[in-house]
Amino acid sequence: MSAAKTERLMNLLIMLLVQRRLVAKRRIREILYPDASDEAFERMFERDKEELRSLGVPVELGQLDAYFDDEPGYRIRPDEFALPPVDLTPDEASVVGLATRVWEHQRLARATTEAVRKLTAAGAEIDLDALDIAQPRLGADEPSFDDFLDAVLERSVVEFDYARSGRGEPTRRRLQPWGVTRYAGRWYVVGHDLDRDAERVFRLSRVQGRARKVGKPGAYEIPAGVDVSAVAHRLAPAVSTEPVVVLARSGAAHPLRRAAETVETGVEGPDDRTGWDRLTLTRASTGVVDEVLGYGDSAVVEAPATLREQVVARLEALLARAGT
């Protein structure tokens, strides 16, 4: 996806997310598509809305005046954007739209900053508190993330080598990707497996090397109404929900604090430079390793031991790669 298109999608996402009321279509055009003709604006705006929706962003359409059938307005409700459907179990509550999960991804960070700057300069009434929902961090060990995201937006077939748990050599897979989503702390690509002729999910951490686009863009259509998050819930392996205990510095790791079942303040921590709190989380533990590593020395896994060992192993691997 081009830098211009990335920025335009982020501009639209932010504008609809951070404003407190429906945004008139006219206002969207004035701020985000000022140089487009009528025809070009309609085409780009419709395409951008559908691409956001295909990535799991709930773009809502409504009327600005309840008593008059005037021009339409759009918005993204932060509560619907941040939370999964209400019928999900607590173990699945970490699953949200793609955009919230990639907010701090290196490729989109610049576009996010520029979008806020442009919207502010254009006089848009924004509420930056709405951006608090977009704090999860993307682990740095998913080299194929961009490949699959590009393929989804271009509708390109991808080919990749995939290693399944307990199997020997990786196998070559061909996929028409429908979307990338996060389930229970892990990234998955969802799509139609051309070799199995069925819908499948693939965990990105098991993709060996990079995913390669084959053929021409526009090679397929994503099925109407497909919900990639629901497919991931249905097809991805079950995850452990053993309680996780994390020590966090006072005033740090706010997303973990919001997800915690209990918070015990003023506990003994690994050092005495700051105060420490003990957070107990009862959701799926698979994504905690990435989250804890993202907070540096401000968060430490205390239990279970297996999860703590995973954090230590990841740190040791990083040190080894750095040659220290």
Least confident of 43-57, 88-102, 193-207, 306-320: 88-102
DSSP 115: H
What is the pLDDT at residue 226? 85
Mean pLDDT, residues 297-302: 91
Half-sphere exposure of 171 (CA within 13 A, CB side): 12
Q: What is the pLDDT of residues 195-216, one digit of tens each?
A: 999 999 998 888 888 899 999 9
Query: Two tokens at 316?
Result: 């040791």
Where along the chain do its domains lie? 3-88+105-129, 145-235, 244-322
User: Regarding predicted confidence, which is higher, 140 or 2?
Assistant: 2
Say what the pTM is.
0.44
* pLDDT at residue 287 is higher than 80: no
CB 105 within 8 A of CB 98: no
CA–CA distances in Å: residue 45 to residues 50, 59, 74, 155: 9, 12, 12, 18
Query: Two tokens at 209?
Result: 């090397």
What is the pLDDT at residue 218? 92
Mean pLDDT, residues 171-191: 86
pLDDT > 70: what percent of the chain? 69
* pLDDT at residue 68 is higher than 70: no
Q: What is the pLDDT of residues 102-126, one digit of tens each?
A: 444 444 544 555 555 555 555 655 5
Mean pLDDT, residues 163-190: 81
Query: Two tokens at 314?
Result: 């990841």
* pLDDT at residue 323 is higher than 60: yes
pLDDT tier, 79 (very low <50, low <70, confident <90, very high otherwise): low
Average pLDDT, the chain: 76
Q: What is the pLDDT of residues 234-285, one digit of tens each?
A: 887 666 567 889 999 998 888 788 778 899 999 999 999 999 999 998 755 5
pLDDT tier, 133 (very low <50, low <70, confident <90, very high otherwise): very low
Which range, 47-61, 74-88, 166-180, 307-321, has the best average confidence (pLDDT)? 166-180
Topology (CATH) of 145-235: SH3 type barrels. (2.30.30)
H helices present in the chain, as ranges: 3-18, 25-32, 38-54, 78-82, 98-101, 106-121, 145-154, 228-235, 254-259, 288-294, 305-322
Half-sphere exposure of 82 (CA within 13 A, CB side): 16
What is the pLDDT at residue 99? 40
DSSP 237: P
What is the pLDDT at residue 136? 42
Burial environment of residue 137 by CB neighbours within 10 A (0 to 12, 13 to 18, 19 or more)? middle
Per-residue b or e along 178-190, where b marks 16 or more CB atoms closer than 10 Å to that residue's CB: bbbbbbbbbbbbb
